Amino acid sequence: MDSEKKPTHRPRCRQLMGVRVISTGSYVPSTVLDNNHLHAMLGFDSDWIVKRTGILERRHAAPHEATSDLCIEAANRCLKKAGVEAKDIDLLVLGTFTPDMSFPSTASIIQDRLGLVCPAIEVEAACAGFMYALITAASYIVSGASDMALVIGGDTNSRILNPNDIKTFPLFGDGAGAVLLTRGRPDQGILSYSMGSDGAGGMLLCRESGGSRMPPKPEHLVEGKHFMYMDGRAVFRWAVDILCDTIQDVLNYSNLQPNDVDLYIPHQANIRIINASIDVLKIPRSKVFNNLDKYGNTSAGSIPLALDEAFTEGRVKDGNLIVMSGFGAGLVWGTALMRW
């Protein structure tokens, strides 16, 4: 990308009313890697990562755990809270970019293990994966194609990170979250959302080896092409802009001001990205939910994990206005203003 900012063309905002979230659930692995552990492993000052990202620790999946395992645990907790049985679910939508395998889809694996009798849709939108899944499921609910949808976001980032890369390895963790979505009052639902893609920046954050363009070969392992690559500075600048701009977009569409919103739940990528955006919009930091310090960037698991914790803490109540925003590799984004 040029150092000079290019004009951004975003799809127009849209609306999906008459849907509501009735339950949330989340799961993170038990293995904790704090900054002192990474200091011993990679040899950098443990305070450095805190100053640059706000992350104190992150979770890594055990050797026997895959993305489906994290998602199933989150889903079971979500269903248990709601008192809903598998037979009541008529749609599963999963957001992930670290599937168990290329195929079958991880969504199908989860559908089978949960005992669901329904379609299982999988979307790949990296760190915006949950928002893509949520908006997709809401569309099914509004159209009448679904009565109750299980929406999951989860990733096992530790499996695609280069453990020797100081620029990426400390940033990411593993985790999953789930919500149950069903019909709501006419005034409930997604008042406005902005969802889009800027594929011109795709190679700024990618994993080159493993697909049909570059099938895995032994030399790719030597070159590290099977690991995540990120142009940190360029992605940082884009993320600040897209978070700020799309929050403003959804507020403008609904004729609301930043202070009208009760809680903001941004993708937990980097505290400097979050703070830079909300400061431009003059959003009080007390209205922004953060759990980045405990989990790092869990990609598609980020927003539903934060949403579940916000519910548990009593920060999401009936009638509240909530803004959620995911952004990441693609480059893609999904930002929604939702009334509970």
Q: Find the radius of gyration of the CA atoms of the chain.
A: 19
- Return the percent helix, strand and coil in the chain, to nearest 5: 40, 25, 35
Residue 261 in contact with residue 324, Cβ under 8 Å? no
Interatomic CA distance for residues 334 and 132, integer angstroms = 6
Distances (CA, A) of 206 to 121, 126, 288, 328: 23, 10, 29, 10
Q: Report the catalytic residues.
A: 127, 267, 297
Find where tokens 């998602």 sit. 71
Residue 229 in contact with residue 202, Cβ under 8 Å? no
Q: 243 is written with which tokens? A: 């978070």
Q: 129 is written with which tokens? A: 């994966």
Cβ atoms within 10 A of the Cβ of 36, count?
11
3-state secondary structure of 149: strand
Q: 1 is written with which tokens? A: 């990308």
* Planar angle of CA 300, 49, 274, nearest 5 degrees: 50
